[in-house]
Amino acid sequence: MNLNQMHSTGMASPRTLQRLIDRLVERGITDDRVLRAMEAVPRHLFVDSSLKHLAYEDMSLPIGKRQTISQPFVVARMSQAVLEMPSVRSVLEIGTGSGYQAAILSHLVASVYSVERIHSLSWQARKQMRQLGINNVKLKFGDGQEGWDEHAPFDVIMFTAATRQVPTALMEQLTDHGRIIVPRVSRAGQELVLMQRSDKGWKEEVVQPVVFVPVLTGTEY
């Protein structure tokens, strides 16, 4: 496939992809496993055809249903936060969206479980996983705030939508020393927070300001 064909399909040229990777490194993504995953997953498959020319820019993009695909830096930073936990094997994602974050995680941990409340998005994400041959991601259509008790406990629970408070039902699905990665709503706006469970309770670390769509309850067709 020549360069013009790559651009017409939304695929990244080696130069475009390297520019994105360099940008991630400049902003503090240091884990080679995350960078390799960002290189391996074709982001253009997860965006609308009219926006494929922007697929490898470091920006969020609309995916329909008032939802977005997160900017690559935020995806990489949240993925790096997963790997900062030793011996992590399973991740529960609240909010599948396009499926891009789950696809990245599939390269980093043994098992990914992802719940999406919007049926059409869940269906499309399932289609993309099949197309990419990703077999270690399980997808569920349902209310993410209920979690996925059948496969609990999880080493990490990751929210890809902003919430004021993590539901108790989800916290109970975390391992004893697990981590929650959540965009949390505060008076100042939204901030990415790492919540670490320990024998002495919870330790929190605020990473950076972020902008995510809000967590909603129930399901939508």
Residues labelled as active-site residues:
70
The alpha carbon torsion through 180, 77, 112, 199 (nearest 10 deg) reads -30
Cis peptide before 183 (omega within 30 of 0): no
Count of Cβ atoms closer than 10 Å to residue 185 Cβ: 16
> Three-state SS across 9-21?
CCCCCHHHHHHHH
Q: How far is CA 176 from CA 115, 194, 201, in A?
A: 22, 15, 10
The strand pair at 67-69 and 61-64 is best described as: antiparallel
Residue with the two structure tokens 């919430």: 163
Amino acid 119 reads H
How far does CA 103 lie from the centroid of its chain? 8
CB 161 within 8 A of CB 213: yes
* Cα dihedral sign, 7-10-12-16: positive
Among candidate residues 112, 95, 116, 90, the one with its CA nearest the CA of residue 41: 112
